[in-house]
Amino acid sequence: MANAKFHPLEYAFWACTLLPFVLAPNYLSLASQIAITALFALSLDLILGYAGIVSLGHAAFFGVGAYAAGLIAKHYWTEPLSGMLVAAAAAGVLGYALSHIVVRFRHLALIMLTLGFGLLLAEAANSASDLTGGADGLQGFHVPGVLGFKFDMFGRTAYAYALAVLFVAFLVARRIIHSPFGLALRGIRENATRMPAIGAPSLAHLRKAYTMAAVMAGAAGAVLTHTTSTVSLEVLSFGRSADVLVMLILGGAGRLYGGLVGAIIYMVARDQFSGVNPQYWYFWIGLLLVAVVLLLPNGILGGLSALRKKPR
Amino acid sequence: MLRTCLALAVALASFTAHAQQPLKIGMVLTLSGQFADAGNQMLNGAKTYMKMHGDTVAGRKIEILTRDTGGVAPDVAKRLSQELIVRDGVDILAGYVLTPNAMAAGDVSAEAKKFMVVMNAATSVVITKSPYMIRTSVTLPQVMETFAHWAATKGGIKQVYTMVTDYGPGIDSEQAFQGAFKAAGGTVVGSVRFPVANPDFSAFVQRAKDVGPQAIFIFIPGGAQPAALGKAFAERGIDLHKTKVLGSGETTAEAALKSMGDNALGIITAWHYDYTSKNPLNVKFVKAYQGVANGRNPDFFSIGGYDGMHAIYEALKKTKGNTDAQALVNAAKGMKWESPRGPMMIDPETRDVVQNVYIRKVEKVNGELMNVPFDTIPMVKDPAGERRKQQK
Amino acid sequence: MLSSLAGVLFDGFAYGMLLFLLSVGLTVTLGMMNFVNLAHCSFAAVGGYCTVSVVNRLGWNFLAALPIAFAVGALVAVLLERTLFRRLYRRSDLDQCLFTIGIAFMSIAAFAWFYSTEPQSARVPSYLVGSFQLMGRNFVVYRLFLMLMGLAITAALVLALERTRFGAQVRAAVDNQRMARGLGIDVDRAFMITFALGGGLAALGGALAIEVIGLESTLPLSVILVYVLIVVAVGGLGSIRGSLVAAIVLGITDTAGKYYFPWLGAFLIYLVMVALLMWRPLGLFGKR
């Protein structure tokens, strides 16, 4: 696979992710939440960008991962790595179950069904307040640290942990995309009816992709739980599903780095705008989205690559 | 002699050092999303206090930094609180409209040893999250249990039907009200919970009406919903002489009364603050507030912010500008003052708010609908906090 | 029992009409023009705030405010269409989505800036307030008014789009732009007018909704947007009749569910949507 080799820009990108440790030690808490959101956006990219499944309910998996991690820490053990694996698996189970329904639909019906499942799950979590703590959030657990490093006030450990998980997940995603399976997915996205004819069982492929994305989203949720020692209904909310979709489109769907770039730009912009103007920051975020769409079609990465290819 | 001189010089040096550096208060609020209005009102309350009492206390200039969590988001609230401390060097944490956000930030206050003033978040257990925390708003059991007891005894109500929003504070209120109401000899003839996002209340109100209870108890969060619910009551033709409607202060907040009109007449509520109170301190406060908030009137979020700033100012005066969390919380414990809402105190043991609960009825005064208080239960402690104390 | 059923049907039907009024504009723009407009509820909020201003500041009658709300909503829609939205007709759904969410964000900030974050209300005339008795049951006057408005607008829309020359032109322009251009139809103008209609109807819906659901600056991205999307999806893209039926079905199930099985309250509308879409992915009346 020619594409599977790391491009120099990619080395540069990942080297830059280490810069906050040196250049912005006061921004590491933010950086850790950006890394978590980037992982979440990457998981959405797997299904939206590569398999063409537009989801407005992706927070379902993020939330299941987050709650599973919280419940494990509360009732069983507080070691995060194993907790994350179990939580991601739990999200994967839900993803696999739902995938049987979801992959059979396209277009608006697909979007609304994912939205519906997400909302139903959020309502269920609210109702099951004995298990989830309801609107007050899950209480009574604390994750002290990971691999002997304590989660500190500055977010050093939190960022290192989130970044490590993001990087590993990214390598996995990259492998998937460049494998024959990834190629088949893109084929299905372009023409769903033709692929079975050339020997790619499209529904089974889509189910697999959907499940993998759910696992990854669950891992992201678990890392959020571990690094903040809090879980609330917000992890399952429609708002979180919509936000991650916005970030992915902003960065550029179907480009592997799209979700990462989108999460970085959206969250840094939000942090800066809301720091300067806490009451009306969303005006400026809105302006940013509008400007990006007008200037750069198909997201920031899509627009930039189109600009580069354009003959001058 | 030399020693006194030295001590004086040191004290003076530290004093000037303090005086040069502003004292920063980090307010974590909800300024966008569903709870944006609450955050804005709270911020205006704090600003009003500073306008009325100056922005300098114990020789130090006070500076407020505001942050927006955008709604229920404990992870964000925790991060913003951490960042305010490590990035912006704030000395005191304040604000916190919502319970989950306050709970998460409580951990930060405990770990970083920072004084924290909760200006709303009304779930009882919030206060246990940090030993450096005080609360200047209200707790749900404080109002609801008091109200239920009042209703079953003085109010002469024997049966009640409860209607609450199906989320933490709603369920807490339902349980507090039902528990205290039954304990005082009343019976609960039915109950219903509304979904959190519920634009149309007609079916729920119709259901309550068809049960035909002697009284209906309501808990609903502020915003557009109280008005929608109130209208549903009005248009169903529920006769408030036959069926008494009982609610928390949000039910008959200013905007809700405005849109309900005369149909609201007769609704009985229990609450700790209303902007129409004739208390001279309140008249002054409301006037100053309107200047700060573009002519708007304060609500209970505003008074939480106002009294929160008062507690901070008075504690700082006692510590002479020292921002050590233990010193500040010690100074705040047992603090008593006259607030625009009436007398209040910070409980020396639980660090929670102690205040009057007013029983009010919606009446027309000079052509305007108002919550007119007709009974007062003085200096109520948080009953849930008292029970926790006994368990220990 | 029978009278409670009648009451529930009446309330549910009226609630459905309100949902229909709020979403019919999106049925037109999303369904007919294929433009993903997630800022649809911003137009509803424009209509709502316009009504608040006209009624509370100018002191005009609520009924007089309704056509004004429609006109202002349509005007804002035309301005946005001419300056911005038309550039996006050929872009991907995702770009349209991102762009209109950006507009919705900006509109929320603008409403909060001009009208504060306080919930607003507009007084309706006394003859629309209260209820009348029938079969020992109260029926709410305003809800009857909502029903009449909904039916009148449906009739007008169906007539305008299916029985007039202009309607035929719009449908032609939407179905096949190139062919329509070839036939000398001014596609640009047809799109502009369709968009104006969508914005105006949303604004009218927003104005009528204040009395039932209230009005806050966050309306553009509130749960109402979710309900509107549900109505459009369940009804079927581009079908006004479909939206009407979907809205009524959802309104009645939601109201009946809350009355008879309140513990299902929050779930029911989503369950019904999921079931209906699994049964008919294109919506009840969808063709594409």
- Cβ B157 vs Cβ B151: under 8 Å: yes
Half-sphere exposure of B296 (CA within 13 A, CB side): 25
Rounded to whole angstroms, what are the CA distances from A173 to A43, A212, B197?
8, 9, 37
Using pLDDT thresholds of 50, 70 and 90, give the confidence band for residue A310. Answer: low
Q: How far apart are CA C70 and CA B226, in angstroms?
A: 27
Q: DSSP secondary-structure letter at A197?
A: G
Residue B277 burial (CB count, 10 A): 21
Per-residue model confidence (pLDDT) at position B13: 45
- Cβ B353 vs Cβ B382: under 8 Å: yes
User: At C14, is the secondary structure helix, strand, or coil?
Assistant: helix
Closest chain B C-alpha to A295 CA, distance in angstroms: 27
Per-residue model confidence (pLDDT) at position C233: 92
C214 vs B34, B194, B228: nearest CB = B228
pTM for the whole thing?
Answer: 0.90
Which residues of chain A lie closer than 8 angstroms to B196, CB-CB? 126, 135
> Is the CB of A197 inside 8 Å of chain C's CB atoms?
no
Closest chain C C-alpha to B232 CA, distance in angstroms: 8
- Characterize A224-257 residue by residue with b for buried, 16 or more Cβ atoms within 10 angstroms of its Cβ, and e for exposed: bbbbbbbbbbbbbbbbbbbbbbbbbbbbbbbbbb
A94-103, A271-280, B40-49, B181-190 — which is least confidently predicted? A271-280
- In this complex, do A283 and C105 lie within 8 Å of one another by their Cβ atoms? yes
| Ramachandran region, residue B293 (left: φ > 0; alpha: ψ -120 to 50; beta: rest) | alpha
Tokens of B183: 């304990």
CA C58 to chain centre: 26
- In this complex, do B223 and C119 lie within 8 Å of one another by their Cβ atoms? yes
Classify strands B244-248 and B268-271 as parallel, antiparallel or unpaired: parallel
Residue A188 burial (CB count, 10 A): 25
A293 vs C95, C230, C281: nearest CB = C95
What does pLDDT average to in each consecutive run of 10 residues of chain B (392 residues)? 47 48 93 89 96 92 93 91 92 94 93 95 92 95 95 92 89 92 93 85 87 91 82 78 87 84 88 93 96 92 96 95 94 96 95 96 90 94 90 76
Which residues of chain A lie closer than 8 angstroms to B167, CB-CB? 126, 134-135
Query: Which amino acid is present at B161?
Result: Y
Closest chain C C-alpha to B360 CA, distance in angstroms: 22
Interface residue of B40, B81, B86 to substitute, partner A, most A CBs within 10 Å:
B86
| Ramachandran region, residue B333 (left: φ > 0; alpha: ψ -120 to 50; beta: rest) | beta
Length of chain B: 392
Which residues of chain B lie closer than 8 angstroms to C11, CB-CB? 202-203, 206
Classify strands B159-165 and B133-135 as parallel, antiparallel or unpaired: unpaired
> Is the CB of A120 inside 8 Å of chain C's CB atoms?
yes
Q: Which chains touch C (3 or more CB pairs under 8 A)?
A: A, B
> Is the CB of B265 inside 8 Å of chain C's CB atoms?
no
Which residues of chain A lie closer than 8 angstroms to C86, CB-CB? none
- Cβ C65 vs Cβ C50: under 8 Å: yes
φ/ψ (deg, to 5) at B201: -100, 0
Interface residue of C218, C219, C264 to substitute, partner B, most B CBs within 10 Å:
C218
Which residues of chain A lie closer than 8 angstroms to B26, CB-CB? none
Classify strands B353-365 and B342-346 as parallel, antiparallel or unpaired: antiparallel
Which residues of chain A lie closer than 8 angstroms to B74, CB-CB? 137, 228, 230-232, 234
Per-residue model confidence (pLDDT) at position C131: 78
Query: Which amino acid is present at A65?
Result: G
Rounded to whole angstroms, what are the CA distances from C256 to A291, C243, C253?
45, 19, 5
Q: Read off the pLDDT of residues C202-251 as tens digits, 9 standing for 90 and up.
A: 999 999 999 888 898 999 998 899 999 999 999 988 888 899 999 999 99
User: At B228, is the secondary structure helix, strand, or coil?
Assistant: helix
Tokens of C65: 């405010």
A293 vs C99, C266, C281: nearest CB = C99
Which residues of chain C lie closer than 8 angstroms to A55, CB-CB? none
Q: Is the ipTM of this complex over 0.85?
A: yes
- Cβ A252 vs Cβ A301: under 8 Å: yes
Query: Which amino acid is present at C265?
Result: G
